[in-house]
């Protein structure tokens, strides 16, 4: 299946600083359609589309909206998670840069559907250069925001990978340390300032205008059984054509890596950033979907000259630095993992170190409070499975 530009349809076509240009390309048609419907009907349409969260977890968007809509409260919030921090991921940045109006329209429809009057876009500090283009889109869209009685504010992060985790992100908007919360309660019942909150990724929200312009049926005709629509990927590393590409869900990984990005001599691919799964070249025909492997959409390609252990060590170093420190399994686990993986990297591992890494990883996956600690061992566990000999030859 070749590239199919649904979410990216405006990128490179619409002038990102011109509302007029956006309107010429069907801009705000979806909002007009939505506000003619009841909020419940909008939610029903999103549920029927089968859209699932594009931030990596894949929670059904319509159900999240329905839970928030049904929560009784005088105030509700919508948050757009633009804290794209997974290593090797830049697709949200690309979409905000090239099509900020679609994001604003998606946020506005989400507010209308759940009954929120205020939305925040949590923009990572590293993307502060995007504030101009985003604020301009908000300002130029004021007439449409008024129609839906919605106000959108940009909240600039301060540099912390963990703030991409929804409850840490909420803490951060409240002005606190980005530490994860114990859940339940989940944001749809108790989120920002303890009010019902929808929190969705940039790409998820940019799917909304497409669904509400076309239809749920049109959307759910694309993809696999449990993964509808398309997925936007950013791909980098050992490839000829670094960039952002969009594929129908279920497309083979080979299409992205060797087709679009023109990678050669591929050894392995990591899908979903530092916390993503490792796919060895022999599995390059794996379909990209929630059923198989997906993550947030950052894809890193490694050729045969790359050292597997060094890549795993760098991932371990990343998590050791970015763990928020709230729960013990992650705070200690990331530190000890880095120590042991470093011994392998330096060819001075002990015979018991492989077992130690497996035990440590299992404990972290089972008992960490949030996705960071639970997913941190992924590349380690996958490479122990596919490249065990590379570990074994560094034991002395």
Partner 1 sequence: MVNNVVREILAHHKNGNLISILKEVQDNRIDLSKDVMMDIAKSVGVSFSDVYEIASFYSFLSTEPIGKNVIRICKSIPCFMKSCDVVIKAIEKELGIKPGEITADKKFSFHLTNCIGACDIAPAMMINKKRYGNLTPGKIAQILDEYK
The span from the CA of 117 to the CA of 75, in Å, is 8
Interface with partner 1, residue 236, by CB under 8 A: yes
Least distance to partner 1, CB of residue 72, Å: 25
- Positions 7 through 66 that interact with partner 1 (CB under 8 A): none
The span from the CA of 368 to the CA of 227, in Å, is 27
Angle made by CA atoms 357, 359, 360, in degrees to the nearest 5: 65
Interface with partner 1, residue 311, by CB under 8 A: yes
Considering only CA atoms, which of 330, 335, 338, 347 is closest in space to residue 380?
338
DSSP 198-255: EEEEHHHHHHHHHHHHS-HHHHHTSB-SS-BSEEEEEEEES-SS-EEEEEETT-BHHI
Least distance to partner 1, CB of residue 348, Å: 22
What b/e string do you get for 279-295 counting C-beta neighbours within 10 Å, with b at 16 or more?
bbbeebebbbbbebbbb
Applying CB under 8 A, among 243, 252, 287, 371 the residue interacting with partner 1 is: 243
Applying CB under 8 A, among 128, 142, 262, 304 the residue interacting with partner 1 is: 128
Applying CB under 8 A, among 16, 88, 191, 250 the residue interacting with partner 1 is: 88
Which of residues 150 and 296 has its CB atom nearest to partner 1 in the complex? 296
Here the tokens at position 208 are 């909304």
Which of residues 109 and 316 has its CB atom nearest to partner 1 in the complex? 316
Which of residues 325 and 350 has its CB atom nearest to partner 1 in the complex? 325
Which of residues 47 and 306 has its CB atom nearest to partner 1 in the complex? 306
- Residue pair 3/247 in contact (Cβ under 8 Å)? The answer is yes
Interface with partner 1, residue 119, by CB under 8 A: no
The residue count of the chain comes to 396
Interface with partner 1, residue 362, by CB under 8 A: no
Considering only CA atoms, which of 285, 305, 299, 154 is closest in space to residue 233?
299
Interface with partner 1, residue 158, by CB under 8 A: yes
Which of residues 321 and 346 has its CB atom nearest to partner 1 in the complex? 321
Site map (CB under 8 A) of partner 1, residues 247-286, x = contact = --------------------------xx------------
Interface with partner 1, residue 120, by CB under 8 A: no
Interface with partner 1, residue 322, by CB under 8 A: yes
Alpha helices in the chain (DSSP H): 19-24, 29-35, 39-49, 61-70, 91-98, 100-114, 131-140, 142-147, 166-173, 202-213, 216-220, 253-254, 308-322, 328-345, 353-367, 371-375, 378-386, 388-392
**Part of the chain binding partner 1 (CB under 8 A), chosen from 199-207, 250-258, 313-321, 328-336:** 313-321
Interface with partner 1, residue 178, by CB under 8 A: yes
| Binding stretches for partner 1 (CB under 8 A) | 84-90, 92-93, 124-129, 156-161, 172, 174-178, 234, 236-238, 242-244, 273-274, 298, 300, 302, 306, 311, 314-315, 318, 321-322, 324
């Amino acid at each position: 299946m070749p590239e199919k530009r649904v979410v990216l349809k405006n990128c490179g076509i619409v002038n990102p600083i011109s509302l007029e240009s956006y309107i010429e390309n069907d801009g705000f048609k979806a909002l007009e359609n939505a506000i003619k419907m009841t909020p419940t009907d909008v939610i029903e349409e999103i549920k029927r589309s089968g859209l699932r969260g594009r931030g990596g977890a894949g929670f059904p968007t319509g159900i999240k909206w329905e839970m928030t809509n049904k929560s009784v409260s005088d105030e509700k919030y919508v948050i757009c998670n633009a804290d794209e921090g997974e290593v090797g991921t830049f697709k949200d940045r690309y979409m905000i840069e090239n099509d900020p109006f679609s994001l604003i329209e998606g946020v506005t429809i989400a507010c209308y559907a759940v009954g929120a009057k205020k939305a925040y876009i949590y923009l990572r500090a590293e993307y502060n250069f995007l504030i101009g283009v985003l604020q301009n889109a908000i300002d130029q869209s004021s007439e449409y925001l008024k129609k839906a009685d919605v106000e959108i504010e940009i909240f600039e992060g301060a540099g912390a990978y963990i703030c991409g985790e929804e409850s840490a992100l909420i803490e951060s908007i409240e002005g606190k340390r980005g530490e994860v919360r114990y859940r339940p309660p989940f944001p749809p019942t108790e989120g920002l300032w303890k009010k019902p909150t929808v929190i969705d990724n940039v790409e998820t929200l940019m799917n909304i205008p497409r669904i509400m312009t076309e239809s749920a049926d049109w959307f759910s005709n694309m993809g696999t059984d449990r993964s509808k629509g398309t997925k936007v990927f950013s791909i980098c590393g050992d490839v000829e054509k670094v960039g952002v590409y969009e594929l129908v869900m279920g497309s083979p990984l080979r299409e992205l890596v060797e087709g679009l990005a023109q990678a050669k001599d591929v050894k392995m691919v990591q899908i979903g950033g530092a916390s993503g799964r490792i796919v060895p070249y022999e599995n390059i025909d794996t379909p990209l979907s929630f059923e198989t492997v997906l993550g947030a959409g950052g894809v890193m390609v490694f050729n045969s000259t790359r050292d597997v252990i060094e890549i795993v060590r760098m991932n371990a170093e990343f998590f050791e630095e970015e763990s928020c420190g709230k729960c013990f399994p992650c705070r200690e686990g990331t530190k000890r993992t880095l120590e042991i993986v470093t011994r392998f990297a330096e060819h001075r591992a002990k015979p018991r170190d492989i077992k130690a890494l497996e035990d440590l990883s299992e404990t972290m996956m089972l008992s960490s409070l949030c996705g960071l600690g639970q997913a941190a061992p992924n590349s380690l566990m996958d490479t122990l499975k596919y490249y065990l000999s590379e570990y074994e030859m560094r034991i002395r």
